[in-house]
Amino acid sequence: MAEPAVLAWGVRVAGIQLDTVWEDPEASFRRVVPLAERAVADGARLLVLPETFATGLSQRAEAMAAHAPAVRVFLGDLARRLGAWLLGGLVEPGDRLPANAYLLVDPSGAEVLRGRKIHPFSLVGEAERYEPGDEIRTTTVEGVRVTPLICYDLRFVELFRASAERTDCFVVLASWPEPRAHAWRTLLAARAIDCQAFVLGVNRVGEAEGRPHLGDTALLDPLGEPVASLAGREGVVAGEVDPARVAELRARYPFLRDRRPGLYRRLGGHG
């Protein structure tokens, strides 16, 4: 028997694994729509798209930032038409340089949360073209506390631990290439275990400037066990996120309460 599409105790989330059309928002939008419709038909209330889903992670940052108004309109219109929450990555104008950012819109199409990638990926020169964010932002989506982060931020456990106690589900939007796919899969599970929280990692698939991407979009439970995953093709990864499950596990195994952050700062030479 098929499971119910929507459960009263949680929220069904869906990661949309997309083969983004490089630097072509309109073509990427056309690929998003049928996948988003499928996810909503299956009961999803929060739909998540990859990092810079409309353009790919192009290093032509200024040119990609010019598409930000169209991306914002697309997200708002689609959320309103589907009656669902929609979270996606985009390039937006910044103060000094463009920013690699995310935007969450509610079912009315209103923008409710915006944030930026905190760690630009210096290995490929992203730090020279995109300015970093400096805030971790959390909001509540139909009873589930959601904290989005972007791609390379996954490698920095400090971000996750700093916001763990206010988070039921971390969402990581990514454009993570195949050569480092093992790290992607391992770190998603590690962050779920570290923080006793659900983790939804949403990665692109296909080639970008000759670099293959497997996707490996996955939803992990607070024990780091996979709920659903997908590799190698476009599609939807969905499952229920239950905040009561998070609370119950944290009460039974109070690992987060045993942390000694003041000591860690002293050991690191920071006061």
Q: Looking at residues 154-178, what average pLDDT do you find?
A: 97
Q: Looking at residues 113-142, what average pLDDT do you find?
A: 95
For the beta carbon of residue 25, count every other beta carbon within 10 angstroms. Answer: 20
Question: What are the backbone dihedrals phi and psi of residue 127, each rounded to the nearest 5 degrees, phi first?
Answer: -65, -20
Task: Quote the pLDDT of residue 9.
Answer: 64
The dihedral built from the CA positions of residue 14, 242, 184 and 56, taken in this order, carries a sign that is positive
Rounded Cα–Cα distance for residues 234 and 206 (Å): 8
Dihedral (C-alpha) 48, 79, 103, 35: value to the nearest 10 degrees?
30
Task: Quote the pLDDT of residue 232.
Answer: 97
pLDDT tier at 2, thresholds 50, 70, 90? very low
Q: Looking at residues 234-261, what average pLDDT do you find?
A: 96
Tell me how far CA of residue 58 lies from CA of 217, 257, 270, in angstroms: 21, 41, 36
- Give the long-range contacts of residues 38-41, CB within 8 A, separation 24 or more: 38/236, 39/14, 39/84, 39/236, 39/238, 40/82, 40/83, 40/84
Q: Can you read off the two tokens belonging to residue 21?
A: 């059309």
- Work out the angle at residue 18's Cα, subtended by the Cα atoms of residues 14 and 24, and round it to the nearest 5 degrees: 135
- pLDDT tens across 76-120, in order? 999 999 999 999 999 999 999 999 999 999 999 999 999 999 999
Task: Quote the pLDDT of residue 257.
Answer: 94
Is 90 exceeded by the pLDDT of residue 6?
no
Contacts of 245 (CB under 8 A, 6+ apart): 10, 221, 222
Share of the chain above pLDDT 70, in %: 96
Residue, of 258 and 2, whose pLDDT is higher: 258
Is 90 exceeded by the pLDDT of residue 205?
yes
Rounded Cα–Cα distance for residues 38 and 30 (Å): 14
Task: Quote the pLDDT of residue 7.
Answer: 37
Contacts of 266 (CB under 8 A, 6+ apart): none
Task: Quote the pLDDT of residue 171.
Answer: 98
- pLDDT tens across 171-185, in order? 999 999 999 999 999
Task: Quote the pLDDT of residue 4.
Answer: 36
Contact 117, 130 (CB under 8 A): yes
For the beta carbon of residue 180, count every other beta carbon within 10 angstroms. Answer: 11
Is 90 exceeded by the pLDDT of residue 254?
yes
Q: Looking at residues 150-162, what average pLDDT do you find?
A: 97
Task: Quote the pLDDT of residue 5.
Answer: 38
Rg (CA), the chain: 18
pLDDT tier at 268, thresholds 50, 70, 90? confident
Domains of the chain, first to last? 11-267 (3.60.110.10)
Chain centre distance of CA 91: 15
- Among 221, 204, 223, smallest CA distance to 212 is for 204
The dihedral built from the CA positions of residue 33, 138, 169 and 175, taken in this order, carries a sign that is positive
Lowest-pLDDT range of 49-53, 120-124, 209-213: 120-124
Q: Can you read off the two tokens belonging to residue 115?
A: 């944030």
Mean pLDDT over each residue of the chain, to the nearest integer: 95
Rounded Cα–Cα distance for residues 266 and 216 (Å): 38
pLDDT tier at 8, thresholds 50, 70, 90? very low
Residue, of 183 and 122, whose pLDDT is higher: 183
For the beta carbon of residue 134, count every other beta carbon within 10 angstroms. Answer: 8
Rounded Cα–Cα distance for residues 196 and 202 (Å): 19
Q: Looking at residues 220-230, what average pLDDT do you find?
A: 98
Is 70 exceeded by the pLDDT of residue 31?
yes
Is 60 exceeded by the pLDDT of residue 142?
yes
